Structure formats: structure tokens, C-alpha cells
Amino acid sequence: MNVRKCWNYAAAYEASSVHFTMANKTLIISAPGKVILHGEHAVVHGKVALAVSLNLKTYLRLQPCPDQKVQLNLPNINVHLSWKPAALQFLQSAIDVTDVLTPKAPNQEQMDQLRRFAGIPEGSTDTESLSILCFLYLYGAISTRNGWSEDELELINKWAFQGEKLIHGNPSGVDNAVGTWGGILRYHAGKIVPLYRVPTLRILLTNTKVPRSTKVLVAGVKDKLNKLPSIIKPVLDSIDAISCECERVLAAIASSNAIDENYSILEELIDINQHHLNVIGVGHSSLDRLCQITATYGLHSKLTGAGGGGCGLTLLRPDTSHSVVEAATQALKDFGYDCWETVIGGSGVSLHSPFSLPKDIFQILCNAKNCQ
């Protein structure tokens, strides 16, 4: 397998379609979104975090283009570019990725070449620019195999990590690992372990639309820890214990042991963790409002990720009625939030036949901007 195909996954966290010469083939690849169930921020300080995939996926379509151009369409971020293949030949010599079994990030000289080629100014960190640079770096041949072996998935994960590094600088490796393998992963001190005895959980994922800086929030927690170690360290220890207890409870639910009792524990863990995250300074009024709104419907919520705005998750029990979910969703939307019902623990990176896709997804891909 020529694994330079892996740009298709690493560069496509936005719903996208890419067109280039590939004899009479159309490929559709998907990768799941990700949330942190428990352990955000504490994981930076050596504690356990549980990262989970979502059944909300990014889809990438690759198909032949009649005019033989390489076209990149990322409609969610308004990127629509095309190049003649000859114009991209410099990638083969300027970007040394001949050893595809040893993924590595571009050096500064290579980054400068990519920026000049794409016309992207030095220092640009907007999503559009970084996505284009990631695509150009990882651009290569695409395998047509239906599925991948474990070794190939590991290689996909490593190449996806290089895309993460190009975009985010110094990532933990959790995002690309969850995107590759799916399911629920335990992350501790740089070691990532898949969890197999876990149930599928229903959740609401809510975007408060409040922007925030992960870097600033992480620095703020570190500052609090340095100033008040005797206070903040026990909070981080407690978050670590929450992650470990959640892992135990998920295994119990998967074994069909005391479902109601264990869901009650999951709800308590969510509430406690949300309070802890407020204590260490990563809460926000928009997230407090999210928790208050869902609480009126008997539901339990917490922030997920960096905090300071951003997204939150709400646990739904197996017997939570559609009417309750619908009412809570509408109440959140009334405050201007985006909200989706989904499940956690879905599959990782996947290769699809166009005819195996859900009709709504297939229609979206068919309506995406086609080759010109």
C-alpha cells in the first residue's frame, strides 16, 4: 500500500471532496469526530483521559476529474482550488516523503516551499490556510483496497499524526488515534489503549459557538497549579479518579450489570467533573447555561475539550424519550447553540462503497461541487 494516501484522512476533518486522476474509480472515506468524555486538562498533567469517537463523521470523496486537474474542495471552509498535475511535481522532489513507512513532519524549508507555492503568508494560522498546507504535504497516490490491516491502520495513524502536527503544532496523538480506530481510548502519559468492554452511549453534542484558545486555557490551569498546588493538585487527582471510575462503570454496563444504577453513577461523575473543571478555571457562562437548560429536563451535561466555551456533551439514558430529547434540543437552539444527537464509540476510518452510504450522506456528496 502506498500510504501517502493518508492525507485523505488527516487533511479532511472538514467535510470535503477531492478530485484527481484515478482510472475509473470513486472512493469515499470517512473518519469520526471525537470528544473527551473525562480527563480534559488533567491529562496534560499526567492523569487519565477517556477519548471517544462519535457517530458524526467527516466524509471524503475522491473521483477522477475529466480535465485531469487535481481539485481540492472543502465546502465547509470555502476552499475550492485546482492545480495541473505538472505544477505539483515539485512535491515529489521538494518534500521528502519517499519512505512512506517512516512518517515525519515537514521541516521549515519544506514549509516555506509549500507556503510560497500556495501563496500563503508566513504566520497564517487560519483553518483554510492550514488545511491547504496539510493537503499539499500529504498529497500522494491512493490505494483502492477495501479496508486495511492493523499494520496499515497504524501507518494511517502515524501519517494522520503528522497532519495534526502541521495544523496544531504539538498534539497529544489522541485525535488521530480515535479517528483511526474509533471506539473509546484510554490515554495516560502518552500511552493510548483501546477499551473493548464498553457500551454504546447516547449523547447530545452541543456547540455553544463561543470561541476560545486551548493554549490560553491550558496555560491558565498550569498557572493555578503553580500558585495553589495544595488546592489544584487534589482536584486534578479527583478528575483522574473520575476517568478511572467511568472506565469501570462502562465495563459494568457493557456486561449488563445494574444498568439503571450504573447510569446514575455516570450522571454523578459528569456533574462532579463539570464542577471540577469550573474550579480549575476552564468553565464559561455559556457552558453553565447549557448545564442549567439540560438539567431542567433531568439530563446531565459537562464541557468537553478545552472549555472556555466550545462544546459540551449531555448523557442520554437508553430510555430517555424522544420528546425529552427534542424539547431539550430546541431549548438549546433557542439560545443560539447548535445541537446534535449521536452515539459515542463508533467505527474509525472507513472505506465505503457509494451504494452502502446512508441516503442523506450520499445525496450531500453528490451535491458537492463537481469537477469543472
Per-residue pLDDT of the chain in tens (372 residues, 90 and over written 9): 232 333 334 343 333 344 443 445 777 888 898 999 999 999 989 999 999 999 888 888 877 777 778 888 888 788 888 888 877 777 766 666 556 677 777 888 888 888 888 899 988 878 888 888 888 887 773 334 445 778 888 888 888 888 888 777 777 788 888 888 888 999 998 888 988 888 889 999 999 999 888 888 999 999 999 999 999 999 999 999 999 999 999 999 998 878 899 999 999 999 999 999 999 999 999 999 999 999 999 999 999 999 999 999 999 999 999 999 999 999 999 999 999 999 988 888 887 776 666 666 666 666 655 544
Q: What is the pLDDT of residue 355?
A: 62
Q: What is the pLDDT of residue 63?
A: 78
Assigned CATH for 3-195+347-367 = 3.30.230.10
For residue 207, what is its C-alpha cell?
456547540
Domain limits, CATH 3.30.70.890, in the chain: 201-344
CATH topology of domain 201-344: Alpha-Beta Plaits (3.30.70)
Return all residues near 314 (Cβ < 8 A) that are at least 6 apart.
203, 204, 205, 206, 290, 294, 299, 300, 301, 328
Beta strand pairing call for 79-83 and 201-207: unpaired
Q: What is the pLDDT of residue 192?
A: 87
Task: Give the Cα separation of 78 and 116 in Å (integer).
Answer: 21
Q: What is the pLDDT of residue 46?
A: 92
Domain limits, CATH 3.30.230.10, in the chain: 3-195+347-367
Q: What is the pLDDT of residue 346?
A: 80
Catalytic residue, candidates 96, 99, 175, 237: 175
Active site residue 175: yes
Q: What is the pLDDT of residue 270?
A: 98
Task: Give the Cα separation of 121 and 290 in Å (integer).
Answer: 39
